[in-house]
Amino acid sequence: MDLSGNELVGILPSCLANLTSLRLLDISQNLFTGNVASSPLINLILLRYLSISTNKFQVPDSFKSFANHSNLKVFFSDFNQLVPEHDHVQTKVPKFQPRVLSLSNCRANEELTKPPSLLYYLYDLRYVDLSSDQFMGALPYWLFENNTGLQVAILKNNSFMGSFHLPSQPNLDVQEIDISNNQIQGEIPLNISMIFPYLTLLFLSGNGFGGRFPKWLVSMNSLEFLDLSSNQLSGTLPKEFVIGRSLLHLRLSNNNLIGKIPPRFKSQSLDALYLDRNNFEGEISNVHFSRSSYLSILDISNNNLSGKLPRWTKNLLRLLELDLSNNHFDGSIPEEFCYNADLWLLDLTHNNLSGSLPHCSSPSSQSLSHIYLSKNRLNGLLTHSFLNISSLEILDLGENNLSGSIPKWISNLSSLSILRLKANHFFGEIPNEICELDQLRIVDLSHNQLSGHIPSCLGHLIGAPNSSSWSVISYSSTFNFDTSTEMEARLMQEVYTQLDSHIQGSIELVTKWWSYTYEGNILDYMSEIDLSCNQLTGLIPLAMGNLSGIHSLNLSHNNLTGPIPSTLSNLKQLESLDLSFNDLNGEIPSQLTELNSLAVFSVAHNNLLGPIPYGKGQFGTFDNNSYEGNPLLCGPPLEKHCKETNAPPKLLM
C-alpha cells in the first residue's frame, strides 16, 4: 500500500492494524503524528518494507516495538523525531534484523547524543544512513565489524570525533562510505585499501584529516568517487600522478597542498578533478593531458599559479567546465579556449590577464553558457567577441579596462540572464537592443561613462527565475541489496542517486550598499539593475514601475532630473532602492511607504522638498543618512520641522 506524497494529517487510524497480511507500506511525505510505539504499525508483523520518512512521528530509539518484526528488511524513518527510551536496556539480539535502515535527519532531542543502542545488535545490515543526526562520540566502526555484509554506510553531517578506526578483518562487501562533515582527525589509515578492497565511493571531506597526501588511495583500482576536500592534508602531489583505472571524481579542494601541479596525469577514466583552494604555485603550461582524456571538469582556482594560460585545453575534447580563477596568470586569453566544442563554463576571474577579448563567435563556441572574466586588465572593444552565442546565460566582464560603446549585437545573446559590465570605460548611450533580452534578471553597468537617457524599455526586463540546471554527474549506486523477492528488488533499485559536482561560478554584486559574492543556484532567485556612477541624464522612466520582480535598483551618482515616479511603489519585492546623488526634485511620493520589503533606501543629495512620508512599516527604520543633502526636506527623522499650514476658516451657517 502506497499513500506517500499526500498531505495526510493526524495519527494513524487504528483500522490499519487489521491489515495483518500487508507486506509493503509507504506512508512517507505526509504530516502524520504520534508515537510509533503506540501506533497500529506494531501489529503488522509481516511487513517487509516500511517507509514512514518525512512525517512528524516520534520514534523511540529502542525500536522495541519492532522487536518481533522478523520479516521487516527495509525500514526508512528519515526526517522524524528520535526520542530516548530510558527504561529500556537492550540485552539480546532482536528478531528485527533489517538489511536497510535509514534514520537521517531524526535528531530533535538534546538527550540523544549517540546512535541508537539497537545498532549494536544488528548483524545483517546492507545499508545504513545516520546522516545529519548530530550524533557525537567515536565513529561507530563496529558497524563494519558486526555487519560483514554491509555495503553502504552514510554517517555524514554529525559530530563524530577521534580517529578513523577500521575493522580488524577485511570486508569484501563495503562499497560506499561517507563520513564527511564530522570532526574526525589524524591520518587516513594506510590499510584502507586492504580492509575495503572493493570500495567505490569514499567521502572524507569536512573533517580534520592531516598528514601528507595519500597517493596510494588515489591509485585504488575499484574507487570511483574520492572526496578529501576541506581537510588539512599537506605536502606535494607526485610528479607522475597515477590514478586508479576506475576513478571518475577526485576532489582535493581546500587543503594545504603545495608545490607544482603534476606535469603528467595518468588516468583512463577521470571525469572531474578539483585542486582548488590549495597553495599550488608555478606554471601549468607543461601539464599534459592526453587527447583521449575523459576529463570534463577541471578546477584549479584559488591557488598561486602564474605564467601564461595553457593551450593544452584544446586536447581536452570532453571538457565542460574550466575554472582557473583567483590565480596570477598573465598575458592574453588564448583563442584555443574557444575551440572546445562542449565547454559551457569558463572562469578566469581575478587574474592579471591583459589584451583583447578572444573571438568566441565560431560554431565551436556555441555551447558556452557561463563566462566569467572579471577583475583582470583586459582592454579594447567588445567588437564581435561573443556574437551569436545564443546559449550564453552569464557574461561577466566587470572590472577590466574595456572601452567603446555597448554593441547592438548584444540582443543576439537571447539566453542572457546576467550581464555584468561594471567598472570599465564604456561610453555612449545604453542601447535599446538590451531590452530584447527577455531572460535578463541582473544588469550591472555601473562605474562607466554611459550617458543619455535611461531607456524606458528597461521597465520590461527582469525575467522569471532561470530554469536551466547546472551540470551534474549522475551516479547510480552499485549497491545491491540482494533481496529475496522481486518486490524488494524493484523498490530498492537506486537509493543513492546523484552526486552533484558542478563548478559554482560566482558573481559579485553590490546589494544594500555592501558588496556580496553570490554563487550557484541562489543567482536564479535574484534580480537587480545597477546603473550607478555614470553620466545618465533625463527623467527616471515611469515604466521602471513595471519591474515587479526586481529586488535591487541603483540609479545613484548620475545626473537624473525630475520627480521620483510614484510608479516605483509597484515594486513590491524591492529590498534596496538608491537614488542618491542626482538632481531629482519634487516631493518623495507617499506611495513608497507601501514597499514593505524595502531594507535600504536613499534619496540623499538631491533637490527634494516637502515632508518625508510618514514612517510606517519599513520607512520607519530609515535614518538621516537616507535623506541628507536635501535642504528643503523636512520632518522625521530629520531635525528640521515642517511648517504647519493654517487651516481654512470654517464657514458659519
CB–CB of 186/166 below 8 Å? Answer: no
How far apart are the C-alpha atoms of 62 and 45, rounded to whole Å?
17
How far apart are the C-alpha atoms of 36 and 52, rounded to whole Å?
10
Confidence of residue 483 (pLDDT cuts 50, 70, 90): very low
How far apart are the C-alpha atoms of 106 and 181, rounded to whole Å?
17
Q: What is the DSSP letter of 450?
A: E
Please classify residue 209 by burial: count the beta carbons closer than 10 Å to its beta carbon, then call 0-12 exposed, 13-18 middle and 19+ buried: buried
Q: Which residue has the cell 553502504?
A: 152
Confidence of residue 107 (pLDDT cuts 50, 70, 90): confident
pLDDT at position 489 over 50: no
The per-residue pLDDT for range 575-584, each reduced to its tens digit, is 999 999 999 9
Percent of the chain residues past pLDDT 90, beyond the cut: 64
The per-residue pLDDT for range 291-346, each reduced to its tens digit, is 657 899 999 999 999 999 988 888 888 899 999 999 999 999 998 888 788 899 99
Mean pLDDT computed over every residue of the chain: 86
Q: Cα 239 to the chain's mean position, in Å?
A: 33
Query: Which range among 237-246, 257-266, 495-504, 574-583 shows the weakest confidence by mean pLDDT?
Result: 495-504
Q: Which residue has the cell 563520513?
A: 179
pLDDT at position 413 over 50: yes
How far apart are the C-alpha atoms of 501 and 299, rounded to whole Å?
11
User: What SS3 state is found at 583?
Assistant: strand
CB–CB of 195/167 below 8 Å? Answer: yes
The per-residue pLDDT for range 526-543, each reduced to its tens digit, is 789 999 999 999 999 999
Residue from 176, 216, 224 nearest 196 by CA: 176
Confidence of residue 357 (pLDDT cuts 50, 70, 90): very high
- Order of strands across the sheet with 159-162? 136-138, 159-162, 183-187, 208-210
CB–CB of 312/334 below 8 Å? Answer: no
User: What SS3 state is found at 608?
Assistant: strand
Strand residue runs (E) in 54-110: 56-60, 74-76, 81-83, 100-102
Where helices occur in 151-195 by DSSP H, the ranges are 192-195
Q: Count other Cβ atoms within 10 Å, centred on residue 517.
A: 8
Confidence of residue 410 (pLDDT cuts 50, 70, 90): very high
How many residues are given for the chain? 653
- Cell numbers found for residue 645: 499650514
Query: Which range among 88-97, 118-127, 568-577 shows the weakest confidence by mean pLDDT?
Result: 88-97
pLDDT at position 467 over 90: no
The per-residue pLDDT for range 367-393, each reduced to its tens digit, is 889 999 999 999 999 877 888 788 899
pLDDT at position 557 over 90: yes
Strand residue runs (E) in 198-296: 201-203, 208-210, 225-227, 234-235, 240-242, 249-251, 256-259, 264-266, 272-274, 279-282
pLDDT of residue 518: 59
Beta partners for residue 584, in sequence order: 562
Please classify residue 278 by burial: count the beta carbons closer than 10 Å to its beta carbon, then call 0-12 exposed, 13-18 middle and 19+ buried: buried
How far apart are the C-alpha atoms of 220 and 228, rounded to whole Å?
14
Beta partners for residue 378, in sequence order: 355
Residue 523: phi, psi to the nearest 5?
-65, -25
Q: Count other Cβ atoms within 10 Å, centred on residue 30.
A: 21
Residue from 450, 385, 380, 373 nearest 412 by CA: 385
CB–CB of 640/618 below 8 Å? Answer: no
Long-range contacts of residues 377-380, Cβ cutoff 8 Å, at least 24 apart: 377/352, 377/353, 377/401, 378/333, 378/353, 378/354, 378/402, 379/354, 379/355, 379/403, 380/355, 380/356, 380/404
pLDDT at position 352 over 90: yes
- Tell which wins on pLDDT, 92 or 97: 97
649: cis peptide before it, omega within 30°? no
pLDDT of residue 307: 95
- The CA distances from residue 327 to 279, 286, 348, 353, 462, in Å, are 10, 17, 9, 10, 33
How far apart are the C-alpha atoms of 189 and 192, rounded to whole Å?
6
CB–CB of 191/214 below 8 Å? Answer: no
How far apart are the C-alpha atoms of 230 and 566, rounded to whole Å?
51
pTM value?
0.87
CA-CA-CA-CA torsion sign (580, 519, 380, 443): negative
Domains and CATH numbers, the chain: 1-124 (3.80.10.10), 129-282 (3.80.10.10), 405-646 (3.80.10.10)
Strand residue runs (E) in 179-239: 183-187, 201-203, 208-210, 225-227, 234-235
CB–CB of 571/593 below 8 Å? Answer: no
Residue 65: phi, psi to the nearest 5?
-70, -15
pLDDT at position 163 over 90: yes
